[in-house]
Amino acid sequence: MRLGFLASYNGSSMQAILRAIDTGRLAAEAAVAISNNPDAGALSAAKQAGIPAFCLNAKRCGGEEAVDGEIVRVLQAHQVDYVVLSGYMKRIGKRTLEQFPERILNVHPSLLPAFGGPGMYGMRVHTAVLESGATETGATVHLVDELYDNGRILAQTRVPVLPSDTPDSLRMRVAATEGELYIQVLQQLIQAP
């Protein structure tokens, strides 16, 4: 299974997956990494691992439609089977969705459908969880479709909300589960007939 990664920042889930591939725990190949952010730590991590890395954004490509087409071109040129989002903060374009149906994965820092949808990302999710009084949260790996946090759920992991939690402490505990959850989902996809 050849994986293409899209990340906007550090790509911590991507890095967990790369470690699992490197140690032989995950029978996959990291084919390419793409970021909209030229300063993304994910691009540095990919280059350090010897993985082709590209910065593709609307400014460099000439608009959102053009960047969507370029993402498809790069993913196809690197023969990607599955696209893995690791903190990618841009909406996935129509052409990318059409070229990789049911093959784009995302991890979201809550138990979807709770605390998902437009505007629910990063610290906003953890703040909303705490404000709601929820006693547990977690992470969800799901398929990506044209709506935010809407695609079919593939797996979830649960994380208790502690009375002492702040949005940052909760974020750190949820984030610590995301890479492992992704690895489990990818192992299941590899083993599927």
Helices 12-22, 167-191: crossing angle, 10 deg rounding: 40
Cite the annotated binding site for (6R)-10-formyltetrahydrofolate by residue number: 60, 106
pTM metric for this prediction: 0.96
DSSP secondary structure of 47-94: HHTT--EEE--HHHHTSHHHHHHHHHHHHHHTT-SEEEESS--SPPPH
| Domains in the chain, CATH or no CATH each | 2-101 (3.40.50.170)
142 is catalytic: no
Q: Mind listing the pLDDT tens digit of every residue in the chain (193 residues)?
A: 999 999 999 999 999 999 999 999 999 999 999 999 999 999 999 999 999 999 999 999 999 999 999 999 999 999 999 999 999 999 999 999 999 999 999 999 999 999 999 999 999 999 999 999 999 999 999 999 999 999 999 999 999 999 999 999 999 999 999 999 999 999 999 998 7
Q: Which of 78, 108, 126, 142 is catalytic?
A: 108
